[in-house]
């Protein structure tokens, strides 16, 4: 199939462009086949479906004790609360956004952050993902919430979007930048953002201070088929693309309670140890970077 041919995903109405590279085909398949119960069980708490991790202190008082028959349900609600708190912090850094503005969610997953952005700002949100299953899920959810005129996901490469130059008041990557070349990514954000618009990323990155990616970072890469970048690469790619950081927030200490709680739950996936150990040995950092498009 050539890059100009289009096909439809099984049992969906979403048009799916041929992947730009074989790797992007792998990632589309990965997310079309993803079925870890942790993600749907947490999303079912209130209908916001995330594929990112949590931040903030665990409210141990709300959990009760493990002997409590409702303990596991409360634990799931608590993990979900921390994941939504993470998205709130990302949205806090977008600056003033109004109902007439449009935002871009690059690597939107099942759309939880897009719904939150619309509910907070009243704005339009355009999401892109490589996965038809995720785009359909996000669009179905927007329909159920009656916000399909404001929140829309499409299957599209975040490095080559159909949006107009300067169209976006803000844009973000929430744990989705480890699948692409950062220079290409920042160039596309820089293109779609209006001058004065804000770009925000929350990401896991390896710490140049450690030297090279640790074995834990390699394990996370293998688990998700991704390529975690270093902190230095983010800052360089932004600087080269008219994106000037106005906040760099180290969220590593804030995400550890989420991981330590998750490691005790029935929904563990096996990657918990790698996150906990790499955050603790300093080889890996959970970072928010907000940048102005100048």
Ligand X SMILES: C[S@@+](CC[C@H](N)C(=O)[O-])C[C@H]1O[C@@H](n2cnc3c(N)ncnc32)[C@H](O)[C@@H]1O
Please give the residue ranges that form the binding site for ligand GPP (CB under 6 A): 36, 38-39, 51-52, 175, 178, 204, 220, 224, 226, 228, 269, 271
How is the chain split among helix, strand and coil, in percent rounded to 5?
45, 20, 35
Which of 95, 129, 133, 132 has the alpha carbon at shortest distance from 114?
A: 129
Position 86 contacts Mg ion (CB under 5 A): no
Q: Which is nearer to ligand GPP, 163 or 224 (CB)?
A: 224
Q: By C-beta, is 159 or 281 nearer to ligand X?
A: 159
Is 171 an interacting residue with respect to ligand X (CB under 6 A)? no
According to CB under 6 A, which residues from 178 to 207 bind ligand X? 179-180
Q: Is residue 102 involved in binding Mg ion (CB under 5 A)?
A: no
Site string for Mg ion, 25-44 (x = CB under 5 A): --------------x-----
**Interaction partner, residue 259 (ligand GPP, Mg ion, ligand X, none; CB < 5-8 Å by kind):** none
Interatomic CA distance for residues 47 and 256, integer angstroms: 25
Examine residue 113 and tell whether it contacts ligand X (CB under 6 A): yes
**Which one, 246 or 269, has the nearer CB to Mg ion?**
269
- Within 130-159, the residues that bind Mg ion by CB under 5 A are none
Among 131, 201, 214, 252, binds ligand X (CB under 6 A): 131
Per DSSP, the residues of 107-175 read T-TTSHHHHHHHHHH--EEEEEES-HHHHHHHHHHHHHTT-TTTEEEEE--TTS--PPTT-EEEEEEES
What is the DSSP-derived secondary structure letter of residue 237?
A: H
Cα dist from 250 to 68, 126, 204, 217, whole Å: 35, 27, 10, 17
Q: Is 77 exposed, middle or buried (0-12, 13-18, 19+ CB in 10 A)?
A: middle
Structure tokens at 57: 């202190």
Residue 131: contacted member of ligand X, Mg ion, ligand GPP, none (CB under 5 to 8 Å, by partner type): ligand X
Whole-angstrom distance, CA of residue 35 vs CA of residue 45:
17
Residues that bind ligand X (CB under 6 A): 24, 27, 31, 50-52, 107-109, 112-113, 128-131, 134, 157-159, 174-176, 179-180
Residues that bind Mg ion (CB under 5 A): 39
């Amino acid at each position: 199939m050539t890059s100009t041919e289009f096909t439809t995903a099984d049992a969906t109405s979403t048009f799916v462009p041929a992947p730009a590279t074989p790797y992007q085909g792998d990632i589309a398949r990965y997310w079309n086949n993803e079925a870890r119960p942790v993600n749907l069980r947490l999303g079912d708490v209130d209908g916001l479906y995330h594929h990112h991790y949590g931040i903030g202190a665990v409210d141990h008082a709300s959990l009760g004790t493990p002997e409590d028959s409702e303990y596991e349900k409360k634990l799931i609600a608590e993990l979900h609360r921390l994941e939504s708190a993470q998205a709130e912090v990302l949205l806090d850094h977008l600056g003033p956004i109004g109902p007439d503005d449009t935002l871009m969610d690059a690597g939107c997953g099942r759309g939880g952050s897009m719904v939150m952005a619309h509910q907070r700002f009243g704005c339009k949100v355009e999401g892109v993902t490589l996965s038809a299953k995720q785009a359909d899920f996000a669009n179905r959810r927007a329909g159920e919430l009656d916000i399909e005129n404001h929140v829309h996901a499409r299957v599209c490469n975040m490095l080559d979007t159909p949006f107009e130059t300067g169209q976006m008041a803000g844009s973000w990557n929430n744990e989705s930048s480890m699948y692409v070349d950062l220079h290409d990514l920042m160039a596309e954000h820089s293109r779609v953002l209006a001058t004065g618009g804000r770009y925000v990323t929350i990401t896991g990155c390896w710490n140049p201070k450690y030297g090279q990616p640790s074995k834990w970072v390699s394990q996370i890469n293998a688990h998700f088929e991704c390529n975690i970048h270093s902190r230095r690469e983010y800052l360089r790619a932004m600087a080269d693309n008219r994106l000037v950081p106005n906040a760099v927030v180290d969220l590593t200490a804030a995400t550890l309670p989420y991981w330590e709680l998750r490691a005790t739950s029935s929904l563990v996936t096996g990657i918990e140890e790698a996150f906990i150990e790499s955050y603790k040995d300093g080889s890996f950092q959970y970072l928010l970077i907000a940048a102005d498009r100048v």
